[in-house]
Copies of this chain bind each other. A is one copy, B any other.
C-alpha cells in the first residue's frame, strides 16, 4: 500500500537529506527513475511533482530536475503539523503546561474572521496551554474542540498530544486548515503567562482544522512571543 509514487518521493527526499544529491545537483531523468524503480514514467512524474510542491526541486523543461533546498526544520506554526511530535523529533527541550481544560461554547471571535459562515455557541472543550521551549514560555495556545466530534479530552491527552489522540485513538482524519497570521498587542493573560511587559506584542495564528468530510472541528489560536516567532513558507508563481 501507500502507493508507489509516495515511496519514490520519500526515497528521493531521503537520498537528498542524506547528501546523495546536494543543492544544485540534477536528479536522474524521469525515464531513468521509471526504469530504476520499475514504474511507468507518469508514476515517476507524480513523485517529482510531490517534491516540487514541497519546494525541494525545480523542474526545467528540456533539462531535468534540480535540487533547490536542503531539509529545513522550522517550528511549525500551523496546527496541521503536530507540535508535540515535531519538538520530540528534533530533540528540542520543551514543556507543555495545561492551565485550562473545561467545557465552553465556541466563541464567535476570532474565528468568524476566517469563516464568516460559522455558527458560534456550539458545545466545545476548551484547552488552554502554555508551550515552554528551552525553559522559556513562548506560546499561549487556545483550543476549542467540538464535543460533537470529540466528546471528552483528558488532562493527560491535553498534556501529551491532541493530534495523536484525534488520529490514532479516535480514528479521525484531519484534512486541511485555513489559517491566518496577525500581530496584536499582548493582553493581560499573554503578559502574565509569557512574562511580557506592557506594550509588548504577540504574533497570533488563528486556524480552523477540518476533517476529511469537511467538518470543522478544532478552532485554535496560538499567541507567540514576538521575538521568538518565525514563520517560513515557500511560494510558487502561478
B234 and A176 form a contact (CB under 8 A):
yes
Tell which of B24, B68, B176, B182 touches A235, judged by Cβ atoms closer than 8 Å: B176
Give bound CA distance, A237 to B172, whole Å: 12
Interface size, chain A (Cβ < 8 Å): 42
- Please, which residues of chain B bring their CB within 8 A of the CB of A60? 212-213
- Please, which residues of chain B bring their CB within 8 A of the CB of A207? 235
Give bound CA distance, A217 to B32, whole Å: 32
- Please, which residues of chain B bring their CB within 8 A of the CB of A7? none
Tell which of B24, B117, B231 touches A181, judged by Cβ atoms closer than 8 Å: B231
Q: Determine how close the nearest CB of chain B comes to the CB of A114; give it in whole angstroms.
A: 8
Total copies of this chain within the assembly: 2
- Please, which residues of chain B bring their CB within 8 A of the CB of A178? 55, 69, 232-235
A175 and B58 form a contact (CB under 8 A):
yes
- Please, which residues of chain B bring their CB within 8 A of the CB of A78? 233, 235
A20 within 8 A of B: no
A192 within 8 A of B: no
A229 within 8 A of B: yes
Decide yes or no: A66 and B179 within 8 Å by CB, A53-B53, A78-B235, A117-B23 being known contacts.
no
Give bound CA distance, A235 to B213, whole Å: 16
A236 within 8 A of B: yes
Residues of A within 8 A of B (CB): 23-24, 53, 55, 58, 60, 66, 68-69, 78, 80, 117, 174-184, 199, 201, 203, 207, 210, 212-214, 226-227, 229-237
Given contact pairs A183-B203, A184-B226, A201-B201, a sample of 10 additional A-B residue pairs in the complex whose CB atoms are under 8 Å apart: A58-B210, A60-B213, A80-B235, A80-B236, A176-B237, A179-B235, A181-B230, A181-B233, A183-B229, A231-B231
